[in-house]
Structure 1
Amino acid sequence: MAITIASSSQTWYVFGMTRKTDARVRAISTAERLFRIQGYTATGLTQILEESGAPKGSFYFHFPRGKAQLAEETIDNYIAKRIAVLRNISSNTAGHALDFVHLIFSTFAAEMVASDFQYGCLMQNLANELPALDAELTRRVARGFVESTAIIAEHFRECGFAPARASSTAAALVAALEGARTIARLERTPAIFEALAEVSAQRLAAP
């Protein structure tokens, strides 16, 4: 069973006005891709404008505070997609902790393969650059990890885990996923996801 994380841009049509929000969507999509590949600091606004094709005037209409506002909305968009994926996985493995863990690792591994091992986690990349982030970006990144962990913990509780065990297991799983992304990018193989899935399954099966 495969669940796709990546999403594509879309164009809205309102009262006969075509491509009304296309520039905004393309800017967010381009920023997400670049932040995931090369990080926040290394991504300049000029590169985002060039690769998204968004006119400068249109860009500042949608993001009057510039790169910082674009980053805020990009983080929010990324978190929303990540939450949707986790909820989908949870729904497809309701009541089954082992299946849940295996599907999470296989889903994230599949995304790494699909991106040719270029994409890191946007939240992890930005978290690694905390000195370059303002307080609002830092808060948003932290919220993303908190919400992701909460959904995973909720699934484990529904599988009968005690609250404390559900929380600690969820936190460990999120940390493992972020570490796996880094190793997979370096080694250009999803093997680390498979290894972590097996180790996690063994721990979950233990009394």
Structure 2
Amino acid sequence: MPRKTDARARAIAAAERLFRIQGYTATGLTQILAESGAPKGSFYFHFPRGKTQLAEEAIDRYVASRMAVLRNISADTTGDALRFVQQICDTFAAEMIASDFQYGCLMQNLANELPALDAELTERVARGFADSTEIVAEHFMTCGFAPARASSAAAALVAALEGARTIARLERSPAVFEALAEISLQRWAAPEGRPGLV
């Protein structure tokens, strides 16, 4: 039997994985417990508010991981908006391939379900998107984008990445990420003043 410290972490990791694959409503506590190996008594010790509290922790874990990935890519592509976007697309595509195209974005999955179920969880997801978008906008500003352009380009890129992940799951192909990177080269992340750009 896993130690109590392990049981909590395992439950959060299992919830995150299942929410990414099948969403919030379709994921029951029985399945989470079975996949995590956490005993029921231990679960309620760590999560006295049950599935809602577990979802909060899974969202926070996912958002922290996503932001760390974006920050690492930003640090690796300092001053280069095009390479920044290319690496993000490559990273998302690689994750989709590694998961055999099972993983959606936890925030996107929950955003499609939670508004009718839980306002606080919905707000948590919204903050996750906002914080992720801010990292992208900050990178664009360090590349010389004006603040308004950086914000709009970041919002467009994040929205497109979410759609790309959905299409990749349906098509079981990373090709959509290649297309997204290409259009970014032409518009969103291209240098200021390039002909034909907004």
Confirm or deny that 1:61 pairs with 2:45: yes
Counterpart-to-counterpart distance in 1, 2:20 and 2:37? 19
Give the TM-score taking structure 2 as reference length.
0.93
Q: Find the counterpart in structure 2 of residue 44 from structure 1.
A: 28
Deviation string, structure 1 residues 92-118 (Cα, Å, up to 9, x no partner): 000000000000000000000000000
Q: Find the counterpart in structure 2 of residue 103 from structure 1.
A: 87
2:13 to 17, 26, 29: 29
CA contact (8 A) 1:153 1:166 kept: yes
1:190 to 164, 174, 177: 174
Confirm or deny that 1:162 pairs with 2:143: no
CA contact (8 A) 1:41 1:132 kept: no
Query: Runs ≥4 in structure 1, deviation > 4 angstroms?
Result: none
Mapping for residues 1-207 of structure 1, pairs under 5 Å: 19-203=3-187, 204-205=189-190, 206-207=194-195
CA displacement at 1:131 relative to structure 2: 3.9
Counterpart-to-counterpart distance in 1, 2:185 and 2:50? 45
CA displacement at 1:20 relative to structure 2: 3.9
Q: Secondary structure at the match of 1:41?
A: coil
Counterpart-to-counterpart distance in 2, 1:189 and 1:166? 29
Residue identity over aligned pairs, in percent, reads: 82
CA contact (8 A) 2:4 2:42 kept: no
Cα RMSD (Å): 1.1
Q: Secondary structure at the match of 2:100?
A: coil
Counterpart-to-counterpart distance in 1, 2:117 and 2:108? 13
Counterpart-to-counterpart distance in 1, 2:166 and 2:127? 21
Counterpart-to-counterpart distance in 1, 2:33 and 2:149? 46
Counterpart-to-counterpart distance in 2, 1:19 and 1:46? 19
Deviation string, structure 1 residues 57-108 (Cα, Å, up to 9, x no partner): 0000000000000000100010000000000000000000000000000000
CA displacement at 1:135 relative to structure 2: 1.5
Give the TM-score taking structure 1 as reference length.
0.89
Residue 97 of structure 2 aligns to which amino acid in structure 1? V
Q: Secondary structure at the match of 1:128?
A: helix
Deviation string, structure 1 residues 177-205 (Cα, Å, up to 9, x no partner): 00000000000000000011001111133
Deviation string, structure 1 residues 148-171 (Cα, Å, up to 9, x no partner): 000000000000000000000000
Q: Secondary structure at the match of 1:40?
A: coil
Q: Find the counterpart in structure 2 of residue 14 from structure 1.
A: none
Residue 166 of structure 1 aligns to which amino acid in structure 2? A
